[in-house]
């Protein structure tokens, strides 16, 4: 029997799901397992999901109904939620961080918040779930960056300056299809200061939701490898959230990283959120990313608990289905190990330390 490939994942939204849960005890639900959602501790163990970047994300004050359902039909322009106030954004970020802290505290060592790559490796070795705190969209941070220092002290080591809606730091790409990523302005002056502060603190900067102009602003300013934690190749799926060949070349040239996004709207040529999406589209994306980036710069960035994923995967428990497909394609065990966790751990060693 072939051994499972350990997976360190570039992006998930499980903390948002737990924050929005109607359960009286979402922490226990995560630790003991539940029917809902893509990630909990039993599902992680079943799929060899050993850790990842866990997002703190601020949802809209009033949730848009049917957001993902509008992403279908081969052509769409889904309206974005209204911008958040700083207080609205902070309330949800602090609540999600509190859930994570409770998870670690009550897990009897099964969940570990990690701030260095050595801590990640140690957690994986003792079979604890290694969690690196990520902020998806910086609405909770003030222009003076005081709250960045607070979040850093609480464990933050990765940040996407924008989600798809505009904030004081820059502009994100909207959910349009088909489209290129050149759909708005780039970083603001505050955004440029944020990139410098992230470099100084050794916080990874995630480019997955930023406009093309913003991408090149970060490329110009940042001293760290360029990273898109959960994005795919635009050549295969023309979503503005996906990366052009020119962007992929820039990431490669800085020794950066791309994590394959499992969201079907970023896999399918028609841009639709549909669970009946074949694994072969994931394999095609990995083939293409490897061709453009090389085998040391591609990993996984599932977007679990934040998107519709192929039904053959279904949840973290089904991760090994992808590796079976890659083995069938002729991928070596060495390459599978890099794609599963090795490349992310190398990248994190060179960014957060």
pLDDT tens figures, 192-244? 999 999 999 999 999 999 999 999 999 999 999 999 999 999 999 999 999 99
What length does the chain have? 353
Nearest to residue 161, comparing CAs of 190, 191, 181? Answer: 191
Residue-level pLDDT at 60: 85
Mean pLDDT for the stretch of residues 326-333:
98
Q: Is the pLDDT of residue 65 over 80?
A: no
Question: In whole angstroms, what is the distance from residue 103 CA to residue 115 CA?
Answer: 16
> What are the tokens at 257?
């990283």
Closest to 263 measured CA to CA, from 217, 228, 221, 309: 309
SS3 of the chain: helix, strand, coil, percent, to 5: 40, 15, 45
Q: Tens digit of pLDDT for each residue in 232-253?
A: 999 999 999 999 999 999 999 9
- Please list, in sequence order, all residues whose beta carbon lies within 8 angstroms of the beta carbon of residue 146, skipping any fewer than 6 positions away: none
Q: Full-prediction pTM beyond 0.95?
A: yes
Structure tokens at 252: 């490669």
């Amino acid at each position: 029997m072939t051994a499972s490939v350990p997976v360190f994942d570039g992006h998930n939204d499980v903390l948002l799901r737990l924050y929005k849960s109607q359960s009286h005890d979402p922490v226990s639900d995560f630790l003991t397992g539940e029917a809902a959602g893509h990630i909990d501790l039993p599902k992680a163990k079943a799929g060899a999901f050993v850790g990842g970047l866990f997002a703190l994300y601020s949802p809209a004050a009033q949730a848009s109904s049917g957001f993902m359902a509008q992403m279908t039909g081969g052509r769409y322009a889904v309206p974005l939620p209204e911008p958040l106030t700083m207080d609205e954004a902070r309330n949800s970020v602090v609540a999600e961080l509190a859930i994570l802290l409770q998870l670690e505290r009550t897990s009897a060592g099964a969940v570990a918040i990690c701030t260095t790559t050595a801590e990640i490796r140690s957690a994986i070795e003792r079979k604890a779930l290694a969690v690196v705190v990520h902020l998806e969209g910086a609405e909770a941070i003030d222009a003076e960056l005081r709250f960045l220092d607070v979040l850093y002290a609480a464990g933050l080591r990765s940040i996407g300056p924008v989600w798809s809606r505009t904030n004081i730091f820059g502009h994100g790409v909207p959910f349009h299809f088909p489209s290129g990523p050149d759909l708005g302005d780039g970083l603001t002056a505050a955004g440029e200061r944020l990139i410098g502060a992230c470099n100084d603190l050794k916080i990874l900067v995630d480019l997955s939701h930023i406009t093309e102009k913003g991408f090149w602003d970060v490329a110009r300013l940042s001293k760290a490898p360029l990273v898109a934690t959960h994005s795919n190749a635009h050549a295969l799926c023309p979503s503005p959230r996906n990366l052009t060949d020119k962007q992929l070349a820039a990431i490669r040239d800085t020794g950066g990283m791309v994590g394959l996004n499992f969201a079907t709207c970023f896999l399918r040529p028609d841009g639709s959120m549909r669970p009946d999406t074949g694994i072969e589209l994931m394999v095609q994306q990995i083939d293409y990313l490897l061709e453009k980036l090389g085998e040391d710069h591609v990993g996984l960035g599932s977007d679990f608990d934040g998107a519709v994923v192929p039904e053959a995967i279904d949840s973290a428990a089904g991760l090994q289905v992808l590796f079976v497909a890659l083995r069938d394609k002729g991928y070596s065990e060495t390459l599978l190990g890099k794609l599963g966790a090795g490349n992310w751990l190398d990248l994190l060693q060179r960014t957060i330390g």
